[in-house]
Structure 1
Amino acid sequence: MFKEPLTRALHVARWVALAIVVGIISGLLSAAFIESLTWSTNTRVDNSWFIWTLPIAGLIVGASYHYLGRGLERGSNLLIDEIHSHSEWVPFRIAPLVFITSVVSHLAGGSTGREGAALQIAAGATDPISKRLGLNPADRSLMLITAIAGGFGSIAGVPIAGAVFALEVQRVGRIRYEALVPAFVASFVGHAVVRGLGVNYTIYPQIPDVTWSPTIAWQISLFGLVAGLIALTFVRLTQFIRGLMKKYVAWYPARPLIGGIILLVLITACGWRDYQGFSFPLMLSAMNGATSGHFEVKLLLTAITIGTGFVGGEVIPLLTTGALAGATFGSLVGGNIAVFAIVGAVAVLAGATNTPLACALIGIELFGGGGAILFAVACVAAYATSGHTGIYHAQKVSAHKSGEVTS
């Protein structure tokens, strides 16, 4: 009579225990990573000559992957591939490799982020635990999802969205509910560890109060569709640049070296220093109602940075791109610029990652629940127009955006 409930309870307890371990590891590593990237950003800003090291930084990053991490340049797509195929273990060396090369990329001034790197760091540090425990393929998939949740929730300061992102990101059109408990536990524990260590997250403006009306409804819906097209443009441009590098530059270290030269020329010739790194000042300025930034510049520099092989991630650059695009759109339609900038940030991210639920929750956690309806509408609209291929090309399509179910 009590055997089945007891078995279930023990199963849940086992996964809660594993998730706590993953969350602690993820939180500790994310805290160190945030502090390291803060140092690299401040150092670059205080010493403008660091921009001249972009080609050298590119060579260092490329050589590190070529000689120490061959096959690991797939980045977060490696984790998603392993969730589906279980063909190889995520090696521990990816954690220090991604950590160090991300710091180098930011120090020199590449337009890159941190969330994607944090996922890889968390998975690299925890997948060996799965191997040591002898987990079967299905359980190992759950552990990788748990690591993604712990990494995202702890690095971005969004424990709810971090868990949902991990459940949503591997398949377009399907959420992995079987990983619900460990994903939430790892994400919340990781976030708590970072907070407990006194590491500060970026403080974002809260979305202004907006009265829902037919006018705001069509404006947000239209902008969501535009945001999806912006996301699609970024994905296609990054793929195009990556394809060119692969086709014409056989020696991998030369790819980010060339990328560093291109970035150096563009940034110095065009005066685009504000678009280096995270570009937090540009993003926050747009979210406070300014229209001084150009989203297409951030999109271009990020596509070059990621497409040529620099390391870090696309999430924060996409938030910045979306915020700048939203500010521009808001000024064109006569809307509240701050509202459209904040909504634009999560909408472009939703289109590029194919994770509309997680991105709507990111909006709520970072910018306030008052914009919940706006975030939901814009993220769904962006998801609808961004195509099936996002920044994570290893995603499987379980249901087409037209509604057709494939698996």
Structure 2
Amino acid sequence: MFASYKVFSLTLIKWIVLALVIGLVVGTTTSFLLTTNDFLGTKRENHSWLIYFLPIGGLLIGYLYMNYGKNDAAKGNNLIIEGVHGKKKVLKRMGPLVYIGTFITIIFGGSTGREGAAVQMGGSIAQMVNQFLKIKQMDMKIFLMCGVSAGFGAAFGTPIAGAIFGMEFVAVGKLKYEAFVACLISSFVGHYMAESIWGIKHESLIIQTIPDTTLQSFAKVIILAVLFGLVSVLYCQLRHGIQKISEKLTNKNHMIRAFTGGVIIIVLTLIIGNQEYNGRGLEMFENSFVEEVPPFAFLAKLIFTAVTLGTGFVGGEAIPLFFIGSTLGNTLSGFFDLPLSFLAGLGMIAVFCGGANTPLTAFLMSVEMFDGKGIEFFFVACLISYLFSGHHGLWPSQTLHEPKSRLFTVTDGSTIESIESSKKYK
């Protein structure tokens, strides 16, 4: 009995120390990412002519990934997922490459987010630390999840959601509880480093009014959650479809793909007549909580982001999904007679939930971001969006632990990619 407790205590201490190290390093690198992104985003907004250099930026990103990425680095978050499952080795160079690629995409006006770089840097740093510590393969999986949690918690200021995200995003329908302590510590430490040490200020999103908890309100929320889930599917399908077509037409030449994508984004920008859908779009995203925004803003952002990331540019997809969901909720508030800020928040969380296939993470994010307001509605919305998004998602490498419903005839252990490409999928 004593021997068992001794082994348990030593193992616990080991993971506390390792999680602290990962949280400190990833929290710092994520803070640098956020600060630099803000600086570059502001520069682009003040110099609108930079958008015309986006194709050149695409060439540079393509060159870096083709010559230094060993093909696998371009997989992004999918490589992290495959690393956790032991299918691939996460490359140490992934972190620097995604940092540089994200900065290039942001400064020249590609539509992207930031959590992709934070998550991939977390995985890359975990791989670097492993090189010195020689961690066992089973423990390496937990180590990678630590890096993901630290990056997510620091990027969004949501340490609890970050802890769960590292455990939840690798497999649909399963939480890897063996990583709970490590992910929780790394996420909180990463968040602390970002906010308390480096002074990072996250977006302030306030829900002004919550509807009464009536059957009518819940019925409206359920209908809206279905719509939000379907919009997340629309984005995922369009984004992956553009990637497949562009890879086929260019024979997977990353430079040509990204150059062409840059040209398309310039054309779309000229058609729109402004650059509100380039970059991260934080201004309109935040405004969607306090005032009416253009009714088709969600669709414009959806297309801009799908083209940007589908043609080989680099960055995250959470912020664009937040934008798509919040502006769609903003537009629908008048039709459903629900408070504008409430629907903006509901759409933001539900669209992200449907795309990421992480209902617990999305729900906890709503609790942390909105101080627990409307907790009942957000719980229902996350569940409904998760179910109605089906077996689609942002990351094709996500494995399916078990079907979301018995109505889906899919095999356990399949990946999102294999399910979508299967003719038997219903």
TM-score range, shorter chain: over 0.9
Which residue in 2 is equivalent to 1:276? 278
Contact 2:222/2:384 (<8 A) preserved: yes
Call closer, same or farther: CA 1:86–1:138 in 2, change over 3 Å: farther
Which residue in 1 is equivalent to 2:294? 292
Contact 1:207/1:371 (<8 A) preserved: no
Which residue in 1 is equivalent to 2:314? 311
Which residue in 2 is equivalent to 1:81? 82
The one-letter amino acid paired with 2:116 is: G
* 1:390 is aligned to 2:412: no
2:345 to 339, 342, 346: 342
Contact 2:207/2:342 (<8 A) preserved: no
Shift of 1:208: 2.3
Shift of 1:86: 4.5
Query: Sequence identity, in percent?
Result: 32
Shift of 1:368: 2.1
Call closer, same or farther: CA 1:145–1:207 in 2, change over 3 Å: farther
* 1:229 is aligned to 2:235: no
Which residue in 2 is equivalent to 1:204? 205
Contact 1:207/1:342 (<8 A) preserved: no
Which residue in 2 is equivalent to 1:45? 45
Distance between the aligned counterparts of 1:347 and 1:225, measured in 2? 9
Distance between the aligned counterparts of 1:272 and 1:302, measured in 2? 16
Q: Deviations over 1:356-402 (max 9, x none)?
A: 11011111111220121121111111111112121011111001011
The one-letter amino acid paired with 2:328 is: A
Contact 2:79/2:88 (<8 A) preserved: no
Which residue in 2 is equivalent to 1:148? 148
Which residue in 2 is equivalent to 1:239? 240
* 1:97 is aligned to 2:97: yes
Contact 1:207/1:370 (<8 A) preserved: no
The one-letter amino acid paired with 2:308 is: T
Contact 1:266/1:272 (<8 A) preserved: no
Shift of 1:272: 4.1
Where does 1:106-145 land on structure 2 (aligned, <5 Å)? 106-145=106-145
The one-letter amino acid paired with 1:145 is: M
Q: Deviations over 1:226-253 (max 9, x none)?
A: 1110000000001110011111012221
Contact 1:224/1:347 (<8 A) preserved: yes
Q: Deviations over 1:185-243 (max 9, x none)?
A: 00000000111111222222235233211111011111111111000000000111001
Across the aligned residues of Structure 1 and Structure 2, the Cα RMSD in angstroms comes to 1.4
Contact 1:91/1:124 (<8 A) preserved: yes
Contact 2:81/2:397 (<8 A) preserved: yes
5+ residue gaps, structure 2, are: 414-426
The one-letter amino acid paired with 1:19 is: A
Shift of 1:5: 1.4
Contact 2:20/2:186 (<8 A) preserved: yes
The one-letter amino acid paired with 1:338 is: S
Contact 1:207/1:368 (<8 A) preserved: no
Distance between the aligned counterparts of 1:160 and 1:208, measured in 2? 24
Distance between the aligned counterparts of 2:207 and 2:368, measured in 1? 10
The one-letter amino acid paired with 1:151 is: G
Distance between the aligned counterparts of 2:230 and 2:223, measured in 1? 11
Moved more, 117-126 or 176-185: 117-126
Which residue in 2 is equivalent to 1:186? 186
Distance between the aligned counterparts of 1:172 and 1:344, measured in 2? 21
The one-letter amino acid paired with 1:362 is: M
Distance between the aligned counterparts of 2:60 and 2:107, measured in 1? 12
Distance between the aligned counterparts of 1:209 and 1:339, measured in 2? 6
Shift of 1:297: 0.6
The one-letter amino acid paired with 1:230 is: V
Distance between the aligned counterparts of 2:208 and 2:179, measured in 1? 31
Distance between the aligned counterparts of 1:99 and 1:87, measured in 2? 21
Distance between the aligned counterparts of 2:397 and 2:250, measured in 1? 23
5+ residue gaps, structure 1, are: none
Which residue in 1 is equivalent to 2:417? none
Distance between the aligned counterparts of 1:87 and 1:276, measured in 2? 33
Distance between the aligned counterparts of 2:211 and 2:239, measured in 1? 35
Distance between the aligned counterparts of 1:255 and 1:178, measured in 2? 40
Distance between the aligned counterparts of 1:224 and 1:318, measured in 2? 14
* 1:213 is aligned to 2:219: no
How many pairs were matched up?
A: 406
Distance between the aligned counterparts of 1:227 and 1:183, measured in 2? 29
Shift of 1:178: 0.5
Distance between the aligned counterparts of 1:331 and 1:289, measured in 2? 12
Which residue in 1 is equivalent to 2:361? 358
